[in-house]
Amino acid sequence: MIADAIRILKNNQYKLTKQRRSLLEYLSGHRHDYVEVTEVDKHMRKIYPTMSYNTVYRNLKEFEQIGIIESKNLAGGTRVKYQCDFSKMHHHHFICRNCGAVLELEECPLDYFQEQLPGAKIEGHRFEIYGICADCVAAGAVQQ
């Protein structure tokens, strides 16, 4: 499950330490939901009590820069998730506000916006849709 991430690490000249392997194993359990960085830190310190928050945070930043994880900043802090699909690095999400499930969207709306900005050069974007997933709707999680 983490073979793609290990390949990306090595291709970017990062060593695969036992701490990084443990971090990848933990994060790979969060392909379909975001986890708070503080929870990642707690998990890693249970395994490696002398590991500093700075080391965890630095590794998460490096993983994000090379495309192993995705992050988002919320009022409560930063959350991260393991890459959904290493063969399709550019993608967008639907995020359930009830259960936190993250579903990958197939299409990118960037062309629609580029058409509205003739002559402009878009340099980046992030697109997320929020709502209640089908499972939560079926379970009655939607307030009428």
Q: Which value, to the nearest 10 degrees, does the dihedral of the CA atoms of residues 104, 11, 27, 62 take?
A: -100
**How do beta strands 77-82 and 35-36 pair?**
antiparallel
Q: Known binder of ligand: residue 108?
A: no
Do 99 and 136 form a contact (C-beta atoms < 8 A)?
A: yes
Q: What SS3 state is found at 112?
A: helix
Residue-wise DSSP of 26-60: HHTT-SSS-EEHHHHHHHHHHH-TT--HHHHHHHH
Q: Is 125 part of any known ligand binding site?
A: yes
Closest listed residue to residue 6, CA positions, set 27, 32, 35, 31: 27
Q: Is residue 90 a known part of a binding site?
A: yes
Residue 136 marked in a binding site? yes
Q: How many helices (H) and strands (E) does the chain have?
A: 6, 6
Q: Return binding residues for Fe cation.
A: 90, 125
Q: Return binding residues for Zn(2+).
A: 96, 99, 133, 136
Q: Return binding residues.
A: 90, 96, 99, 125, 133, 136
